[in-house]
Amino acid sequence: VTIRLDTDPFEVLHREHPEWRAWLRLLEATRSELDDPCWAEAVPEMPPGTGHAPLIDGAPFEMSGRILDRRLRGLLTIAAEAGASPSLAVAARRPILDAPAVFEAAIAADRSRLDALAGSVGAEGVAFAPVAAVAVVPLLQACARRWSPRVGEDWDHGYCPVCGAWPALAEARGLERERRLRCARCGDDWRTEWLRCPFCGNRDHLALGALVSEATAETRRAETCAACRRYVKTITTLIPTAPRDVAIQDLATVDLDVGALAQGYRGGDGLGHPVSVHVSGRSRWPRLPWAR
Ligand SMILES: [Zn+2]
Ligand SMILES: [Zn+2]
């Protein structure tokens, strides 16, 4: 599918990929939340991460527990209604669902903790984890908006300088064909060199290749590394993809994933550098002294 992002990308994807219904509904629901100021208010002014660690590493987030709870339950319900596991609808009604813990585990991409949290509310882990991953996107994008200016031009890693995820894709951008890596979680955008694998840093051009399909060879390809057997999708763009559209571009280029996976390459799932955060769901109103 070729998608012009000035048309409604969801309309096209819904039509072309009816099997993505639940996933697309989640992304749509998240998109309408991105501009809610509650996320930006939770982001500390100064990011804690230093050195090789992403900026988010060690960050404390304090938000209304009620908002976190409502957002997570809302997304679980949407996913269940769109045909993901019915166990998600059950989980959405369980009082013991611990939304701040789910946010922490999803930001850290800690699958075993997510599975345990899912299990505690009777949800299937394989259906629960993607909902949790989408739930943290508005908070992560608020982090990138606040902290991205602090990322030095000397950031030299393949993983996202803000949230630690591997890039979802690369852009060959502008007339200069600058190479920029893009994060589908926080939307961040960072420069990297051509002819260098973002995953293992390999610069041996004999080990670097590209998979192209004849129809779209000029505008998109999967760049492969024989050293680590991973690939990154590369699209040609004149202007940066908007942060909120990176996840859509990732879906719209799934033909490249299919091709690369069929050749035995792995994508960049998960994080390239571990991160740990603390999310506390304070109550909405300060506790009054006599209401202890
Ligand atoms: Zn990121
Ligand atoms: Zn590599």
Q: How does pLDDT run across 183-209, given as a tens digit for each residue?
A: 999 999 999 999 999 999 999 999 999
pLDDT digits (tens, 9 = 90+) for 87-105: 999 999 999 999 999 999 9
Q: How far is the CA of 188 from the centre of ligand 1 (A)?
A: 5
Of 237, 219, 273, which is closest to residue 50 (Cα–Cα)? 273
DSSP state for residue 165 in the 8-state scheme:
B
> How many CB atoms neighbour CB 44 within 10 A?
15
Please indicate, yes or no, whether the overall pTM of this predicted structure exceeds 0.85: yes
- Report pLDDT for 218: 75
Q: How far is the CA of 203 from the centre of ligand 2 (A)?
A: 9
| Low-confidence residues of the chain: pLDDT under 50 | 291-292
CB 141 within 8 Å of CB 151: no
Four-point Cα dihedral 236, 241, 244, 246, nearest 10? 20
Q: What are the backbone angles phi and psi of residue 68, rounded to the nearest 5°?
A: -60, -45
Proximal ligand: closest to the CA of 55: 1
Q: How far is the CA of 291 from the centre of ligand 1 (A)?
A: 41
- Report pLDDT for 292: 43
Tokens encoding 223: 């760049």
Proximal ligand: closest to the CA of 143: 1
Tokens encoding 169: 């894709």
Q: How far is the CA of 119 from the centre of ligand 1 (A)?
A: 27
